[in-house]
Structure 1
Amino acid sequence: MANFRRFQPNDLNKISKCNLDPLTETYDLSFYLQYYAKWPTMFQVAEGQDGNIIGYIMGKVESSPDVYQFSEHYLPWHAHITVLTVAPEARRSGIGKILTEQLEAAADAHDAWFIDLFVRKSNHKAITFYKKLGYSVFRVVKDYYGGHASDPTATSEDAYDMRKPMRRDKEKKHVREDGETFEVDPADVW
């Protein structure tokens, strides 16, 4: 059984089980603390009985900079899932779903139009998970995940920009049916 609550800074000492997953993006300390300071309702954890963090979701609310308001790629006020991860031993127990639902409730409380996230096109399990929760592919971001200079064999990979409309978007203006056929460059994503 997990306890769901807001992230606290001392949780950084307890998230290693989650961050060992090769598909989980990890960040430096200041990045986590920035999210905690700016968007505390969008940073939730699942704590196991032993006190370790067995899952967490980190998100934010934002819009594109005003200078891009007339661009076809402009994003209005929306929520974004930066990280969702669950420790391997706690997967398939509903933790990811609960964490996502908590972030969706916070997005509605912030009056967001939609929630978006980026996922590797090859991460079929995550794509299936998000589709079951009502997310759909809005567009393909070409070469979003770049290769690493330290590894000459590493290749870049496309990302799906997936979205789910929130309560505010009654007319579903910010989702599309044919997202897999709509490609953009990483420079078009803010």
Structure 2
Amino acid sequence: MASFRRFRPDDLDKFSKCNLDPLTETYDLSFYLQYFAKWPSLFQVAEDPNGNIIGYIMGKLESSPDYFQYSEHYLPWHAHITALTVAPEARRLGIGKILTENLEVAAEAGDAWFVDLFVRKSNTRAINFYESMGYSVYRVVKDYYGDNVNDPTAHGEDAYDMRKPMSRDKTLKHIREDGRNHDVQPEDVF
């Protein structure tokens, strides 16, 4: 049985089980601590009875900068899932769902229009998971994941920008049914 709580800085020493997955982005320490300092209610962990971290979610509340407000790509106040991961031995137990639902509760409390995230186009398991929770593809970010740093001419993998409306978006203004047909470049997303 897992328990859920807010992230604490000493949890960084316990992330290795979660971050060994090749689809999990791993960040430097200052990045994790920035989320802890700015958005503590959107950074939660799941731990097993022995105190091992078996999952976590990092999120933030933000909007595009003011200079971006006249762009067609402007993002109003919303929550963003930066990272969600569950250790391999703890998958299929509903931990990712609970972590995501907890973040959505915080997004509602923050009066967000929607929750969004980026996921690799090839990560069908994650895409299916998010779709089962009410997320849909809003747009395709071309070459978002630039994995081949040794070859600057190589193309990266596309990302789906997926969204789920919050109760503030009563008319679903920030959701699309045909999102897979809307391509943008990485510099168009904030």
TM-score range, shorter chain: over 0.9
Task: Tell me the distance in 1 between the aligned counterparts of 2:140 and 2:92.
Answer: 27
- Indicate how the Cα distance of structure 1 residues 38 and 154 shifts in structure 2: closer, same or farther if over 3 A, else same: same
- 1:4-43 aligned at under 5 Å gives the runs 4-43=4-43
Which residue of the partner structure matches residue 164 of structure 2? Answer: 164
How far residue 49 of structure 1 moved from its aligned partner, in angstroms, is 1.3
Task: Tell me the distance in 2 between the aligned counterparts of 1:70 and 1:155.
Answer: 29
For 2:62, the aligned partner's letter is E
- 1:22-171 aligned at under 5 Å gives the runs 22-150=22-150, 155-171=155-171
How far residue 50 of structure 1 moved from its aligned partner, in angstroms, is 1.5
For 2:162, the aligned partner's letter is M
Task: Tell me the distance in 2 between the aligned counterparts of 1:52 and 1:19.
Answer: 13
What is the percent sequence identity of the aligned residues? 76
How far residue 154 of structure 1 moved from its aligned partner, in angstroms, is 6.8
Cα deviation 1:82-130 (Å, max 9, x = unaligned): 0000000000000000000000000000000000000000000000000
How far residue 17 of structure 1 moved from its aligned partner, in angstroms, is 0.2
Cα deviation 1:17-59 (Å, max 9, x = unaligned): 0000000000000000000000000000000112110000000
- Indicate how the Cα distance of structure 1 residues 11 and 155 shifts in structure 2: closer, same or farther if over 3 A, else same: same
Cα deviation 1:48-79 (Å, max 9, x = unaligned): 11211000000000000001111100000000
How far residue 148 of structure 1 moved from its aligned partner, in angstroms, is 2.3
SS in 2 for 1:112: coil
SS in 2 for 1:37: helix
- Indicate how the Cα distance of structure 1 residues 154 and 188 shifts in structure 2: closer, same or farther if over 3 A, else same: closer
Task: Tell me the distance in 1 between the aligned counterparts of 2:23 and 2:153.
Answer: 18
Task: Tell me the distance in 2 between the aligned counterparts of 1:153 and 1:142.
Answer: 14
Runs of 4+ deviating beyond 6 Å:
151-154
Count of paired positions: 190
Q: CA RMSD in A?
A: 1.3
For 1:26, the aligned partner's letter is T
* Structure 2 runs not aligned, ≥5 long: none
**TM-score normalised per structure 2:** 0.97
